Amino acid sequence: MAEAKRDYYEVLGVARDADDAALKSAFRKLAREWHPDRNQSAGAEERFKEVSEAYGVLSDAQKRAAYDRFGHRGLEAGGGGGGGFQDFSDMFGGGGFGSIFDTLFGGGGRGRQQRRPSGPRPGRNATIEIAVSLERVATGGVEQLKLVRRAECLTCSGTGAKPGTEPKRCQGCRGTGQRVVERREGPMLFRQVVGCPTCGGTGSVIEKPCKKCKGEGQVNEEETLELKIPVGIADGAVLRVPGRGEASEDKGGIPGDLHVVVHARDERFVRRGAHLGVTEPLSALDATLGTRLTIETPTGPVEVDVPAGTQHGTTLHVAGAGLPEFRSSGKGDLFVTVEVDVPVDLSVEEQDLYERLRALQQARRAAEGDD
């Protein structure tokens, strides 16, 4: 009887809602630990295959969706989640053994050597979403954001090595961060330059890791950021904050940027650009006789005249009573839709008045009919 496969999330040691960055970080750590070239213990190769297989599925959006819904059985029809090195071509688009490290460590194309980019790479951009009130949209101002981001470890200055020590040159790639992998298909021999799996493409190996960051060179850092919200900002607009994204994985690299998606909504108002729509209840008496409503809007109170004889569902238009327009001196309009509220629980006196009113209306219709 075949041995049941372990849960892929358990294999990588990540939560089921882990993002791509967490999956990649977990795989890189485990790949270095269990790679057969580095770990000669019994079972290391099988463990490495298991880790590679798990990452191959979870890093693919379609295969991950199938796995999350149906488990290992959901991958059988599509051929995902194979059984080791021979399945890498299926998992990673036909790239063979080297492709998995190509994806992770920046390897080159098939059959030729790819130049490594000059200079340290910047960190990844980060994206968050926030909600602001329409009052903030109307006036603009500053929002306080509490962030947790990956930043350079100050204890080891981002090297990942214990203070007083330094990373050593990787013997597997002689410090280049790359290896040449040969793969034979029939009479053809393919050579591919890939990132070195021993050092993760860095060209160096950390023998004594920093206790603070556990050799990662980065730590989670909490900070409070003041974000300026411009007047009239659109719902779904993106504000860019330079240098507040993820730290660079390269020594001396600048952090990425932070992209803030701003959602500006209100449960009471419907927003269409700078225009606002709202529904207001109106008594049958006020609808009949007319009245003046005071609407509390994000820009302040607005007086709305309701003419006599207003019908249920009528929309009243107040020009210039909406939100300020973005980068403009103009303002949107306010649209008030009235819902006539028919009374249900009447007092004896109120019911008597309505009966008298009905009698008057009937008498008037009769008189108009006689004419």
Give the phi and the psi of residue 147 in degrees, each rounded to 5: -120, 150
Query: 177 Cβ partners below 8 Å, 6+ apart?
Result: 105, 116, 170, 195, 196, 199, 201, 202, 203
Instruction: Name the band, by pLDDT with cuts 50, 70 and 90, for residue 245.
Output: confident
Residue 354 has pLDDT above 90, yes or no: no
Chain centroid to CA 205: how far?
33
Residue 323 has pLDDT above 90, yes or no: yes
Quickly tell me which residue has 């590679």 as its tokens: 52
Query: 156 Cβ partners below 8 Å, 6+ apart?
Result: 162, 163, 210, 212, 213, 217
Helix axes 61-70, 44-58, angle to 10 degrees: 100
- Please give the single-letter amino acid code of residue 315: T
Q: Does the pTM exceed 0.85?
A: no
Instruction: Name the band, by pLDDT with cuts 50, 70 and 90, for residue 33.
Output: confident
Q: What is the pLDDT of residues 43-78, one digit of tens each?
A: 888 888 888 888 888 988 888 888 887 777 767 644
pLDDT confidence of residue 96: 39
Q: In the predicted model, what is the mean pLDDT of residues 73-97?
A: 43
Which tokens belong to 138? Answer: 């109307």
Residue by residue, what is the 3-state secondary structure of 226-237?
Answer: EEEECCCCCCCE
**If 0-12 CB within 10 Å is exposed, 13-18 middle and 19+ buried, where does residue 161 land?**
buried
pLDDT confidence of residue 344: 86
Q: Which residue has the higher pLDDT, 99 or 51?
A: 51
Range 1-91 classified under CATH 1.10.287.110 = yes
Residue 84 has pLDDT above 80, yes or no: no
As a CATH number, domain 270-370 is 2.60.260.20
Sketch the domain layout of the chain as residue ranges: 1-91, 270-370
| Rounded CA separation 27/31 (Å) | 6
Give the phi and the psi of residue 4 in degrees, each rounded to 5: -65, 140
The answer to whether the beta carbons of residues 100 and 233 sit under 8 Å apart is no
Residue 322 has pLDDT above 90, yes or no: yes
pLDDT confidence of residue 97: 39
pLDDT confidence of residue 230: 95
Q: In the predicted model, what is the mean pLDDT of residues 106-130?
A: 64
